Structure 1
Amino acid sequence: MKISIERGTLLRAVARAQSVVERRNTIPILANVLIEADDGRVSFRATDLDIEVVDHAPAEVERAGATTVNAVMFHEIVRKLPDGALVTLADDSATGSLRVRAGRSQFDLTTLPRQDFPVMADAAYTAEFSIPAQALRRLFDKSKFAISTEETRYYLNGVYMHVAETQGARTLRCVATDGHRLARIDADLPDGAEGMPGVIVPRKAVAELRKLLEVDDTPIQVSVSNTKVRFATDEIALTSKVIDGTFPDYSRVIPQNNSRKLEVDAADFARAVDRVATVSSEKSRAVKMQMEDDRLVLSVTAPDSGNAEEELAVAYADEKLEIGFNAKYLLEIANQVDRENAVFLFNTSGDPTLMREGNDPSAVYVVMPMRV
């Protein structure tokens, strides 16, 4: 194999591929990226056996071929090369090395045989559809903060993507919860997604998926089966195993009869919570909300460090209510709001609270209260 490629193009492709590589693993080949060159383009493939990323880039291919090289080291070398440099990659099977040249810089990197590199087997996908990157980004960006990190409840360690019924209409829905907060986000159901099985996309795959969704007008091809999910553009494809488990019936924890309504400027609310939480203990970060007569008082009492209080003008016409929340959870939910106002719906101080973005029913959040 021998190719020439512009440094910026090479860096983008290698950076997106190598990010799935685990820094610590017991299988040497999994630390490598598979480089394959043929017919005017080069591909970079990396995997941790659960996720596979393949990134394609245009290149001048003098000699087709393939090899594997340490992904992290290769990425670091390319990152440190001068902007605009023309990079030449040439492998030598006799010496088991890959020569990287750019200007006066030259590196000879140890390679491993391409035959040893595991390639994720193709699956027979149940459903395939196209969705704008902007819509898919919204689904995952607004739900991923609620993914659980508790390994014992492994079925909560991802985002549940499925087809749902909403007021007689079918939607593409993403849900995540850790038992303390929940996010439920809907989008219009794309053509071809009707028969899609519900799948739990793992946390790491959700993070890697963000790299595909940088350009708003890019269509994302989504393929789903009971065991795998694939997201692809013309340049890059991410394939991931899905979590083998059953996501709980989240509809049971979404309150339906909360009648006490608070409407507040989302940005002002987030900043105020952040300020008063400064004096709270790191363990609980408890913030008390007191609501009465279009007034909201946020307060924190921390015996070791002091007290804090801030008042906000809000729209609240129901009976007086005092309720406490983990400040981190409040902030994460408030920061999801794209619209000007956040609408909180309460029942009692011991019941789950529901939050919406203005009058938009497509984004619903639930947070559990805590004693203060």
Structure 2
Amino acid sequence: MKISIERGTLLKAVGQAQSVVERRNTIPILANVLIEAEGSNVSFRATDLDIEVVDRAPAQVERAGATTVSAVMLHEIVRKLPDGALVTLTDDAASGRLTVQAGRSNFALATLPREDFPAMTSTEYTANFAAPAGALRRLFDKSKFAISTEETRYYLNGVYMHVADTEGGQVLRCVATDGHRLARIDAPLPKGAESMPGVIVPRKTVGELRKLLDNDETEIAVSVSETKVRFATPDITLTSKVIDGTFPDYARVIPTGNTRRLEVDATEFAQAVDRVATVSSERSRAVKLSLEDDRLVLSVNAPDSGAAEEELAVAYADERLDIGFNAKYLLEIASQVDRENAVFMFNSSADPTLMREGGDDSAIYVVMPMRV
């Protein structure tokens, strides 16, 4: 194999691949990227056995072929090459080396046989549809903060993507929760997604997927089966196993009877929470909200380090309410709001609180209170 490729194009392709490989693994081939050159294209394939990413790029292919080389090492070399450099990759099967040459720089990297590279088993997808990158980005970006990191509750370690029935018809919905907060985001149902099985997309896959969704104009081809999910653009294909588990009945924890309504400027609220939380102890980071007559007082009382208080003008016309929350949870939820105002719906100081963006019900959040 011998190819020449522009440094920027190579860096982007190898960067996507090297982020998938596991740094610590006992199977050497899993640290490698499979490079396959044919026609006028080269593809870079990496896997950790749960996720597989294939990035295709245009190249001058002098001699077709394939080999595998350390993904991290190749990425580091290409990253340090000068902008605009033309990089030549030459595989010498006899010596078991891949030569990387650019200008006066020359590297010889150890390779492993392409036959040893694991292929992710193909699967029959039960649903295939196309969705705008912007819609998918919103679904995953607004829900991923609530993914649980508790490994024992593995079925919460991802975003539950499924078709849901609403009063206005069916929607494509993403839900994530860690038991303390919950995010539920809806988007119009793409044509062809009606038969899609509900799947839990793992946390790592959600992170890798984000790199495919930068361009709002791009249509993402989505394929879903009971065991796998695939997202593809013309250049990149990301295939992932889904979490083998049952996502809990999240509808039961979304309050429907909360009547006390608070409307507040989302940016002002987030900044005020951040300021008063500065003095709170890192362990609990509890912030108390005191509501009365269009007035919100945010306060923190940390015996070890001090106290803080800040008042905001808000729209609130119900009876007095004192309620406490983990500052980190409040900040993460407030930071999701794209609109000017955040609307909180309370019941009591011990019940879950509902939050949405203005009058928009397509994104709702639930957060559990804390004792303060």
Q: Distance in 1 between matches of 2:121 and 2:216?
A: 30
2:20 aligned with 1:14:
no
The aligned residue for residue 51 of structure 1 is 51
Q: What SS does the aligned partner of 2:316 have?
A: coil
Q: Distance in 2 between matches of 1:121 and 1:90?
A: 29
Code of the aligned partner of 2:195: G
2:177 aligned with 1:177:
yes
Q: What SS does the aligned partner of 2:309 have?
A: strand
The aligned residue for residue 221 of structure 1 is 221
Q: Distance in 1 between matches of 2:330 and 2:152?
A: 25
Mapping 1:307-346, distance limit 5 Å: 307-346=307-346
Deviation at 1:168, TM superposition (A): 4.2
User: What are the ranges of 5 or more consecutive residues in structure 2 without an aligned counterpart?
Assistant: none
The aligned residue for residue 295 of structure 1 is 295
2:368 aligned with 1:347:
no
The aligned residue for residue 5 of structure 1 is 5
The aligned residue for residue 112 of structure 1 is 112
The aligned residue for residue 367 of structure 2 is 367
Code of the aligned partner of 1:147: I
The aligned residue for residue 278 of structure 1 is 278
Q: What SS does the aligned partner of 1:192 have?
A: coil
Code of the aligned partner of 2:9: T
2:82 aligned with 1:82:
yes
Q: Distance in 1 between matches of 2:126 and 2:258?
A: 39
Q: Distance in 1 between matches of 2:131 and 2:34?
A: 29
2:263 aligned with 1:250:
no
Deviation >3 Å, runs of 4+ = none
2:199 aligned with 1:208:
no
Q: What SS does the aligned partner of 1:123 have?
A: coil
Deviation at 1:5, TM superposition (A): 0.3
Q: Distance in 1 between matches of 2:230 and 2:202?
A: 12
The aligned residue for residue 101 of structure 2 is 101
Deviation at 1:17, TM superposition (A): 1.2
The aligned residue for residue 141 of structure 1 is 141
Q: Distance in 1 between matches of 2:312 and 2:111?
A: 62
Q: Please give the per-residue CA displacement for 1:255-274, whole angstroms capped at 9, x wherever unaligned.
A: 00100000000000000000
Deviation at 1:111, TM superposition (A): 0.0
Code of the aligned partner of 1:131: A
Q: Distance in 2 between matches of 1:168 and 1:301?
A: 45
- What is the TM-score normalised by the length of structure 1? 1.00
Q: Please give the per-residue CA displacement for 1:17-72, whole angstroms capped at 9, x wherever unaligned.
A: 11001100000000000000001000000000000000000000000000000000
2:64 aligned with 1:67:
no
Mapping 1:159-170, distance limit 5 Å: 159-170=159-170
Q: Distance in 2 between matches of 1:184 and 1:93?
A: 52
Q: Distance in 2 between matches of 1:191 and 1:18?
A: 34
Q: Distance in 2 between matches of 1:168 and 1:77?
A: 53
Q: What SS does the aligned partner of 1:8 have?
A: helix
Q: Distance in 1 between matches of 2:86 and 2:168?
A: 57
Q: Distance in 2 between matches of 1:365 and 1:293?
A: 24
The aligned residue for residue 125 of structure 1 is 125
Q: Please give the per-residue CA displacement for 1:219-248, whole angstroms capped at 9, x wherever unaligned.
A: 000000000000000000100000000000
The aligned residue for residue 30 of structure 1 is 30
Q: Distance in 2 between matches of 1:167 and 1:177?
A: 23
Q: Distance in 2 between matches of 1:262 and 1:103?
A: 63
Q: What SS does the aligned partner of 1:136 have?
A: helix
Code of the aligned partner of 1:286: A
Deviation at 1:214, TM superposition (A): 0.9
Q: Please give the per-residue CA displacement for 1:59-116, whole angstroms capped at 9, x wherever unaligned.
A: 0000000000000000000000010000000000000000000000000000000000
Q: What SS does the aligned partner of 1:176 have?
A: strand
Q: Distance in 1 between matches of 2:281 and 2:223?
A: 45
Q: Please give the per-residue CA displacement for 1:136-161, whole angstroms capped at 9, x wherever unaligned.
A: 00000000000000000000000000
Mapping 1:227-242, distance limit 5 Å: 227-242=227-242
Deviation at 1:166, TM superposition (A): 1.1
Q: Distance in 1 between matches of 2:104 and 2:370?
A: 62
Deviation at 1:119, TM superposition (A): 1.2
Q: Distance in 1 between matches of 2:13 and 2:205?
A: 17
Q: What SS does the aligned partner of 1:223 have?
A: strand
Code of the aligned partner of 1:207: G
Identity of aligned residues (%): 81
Q: Please give the per-residue CA displacement for 1:270-315, whole angstroms capped at 9, x wherever unaligned.
A: 0000000000011110000000000000000000000000000000
Kindly tell me the number of residue pairs found equivalent between the two proteins. Answer: 372
Code of the aligned partner of 1:67: T
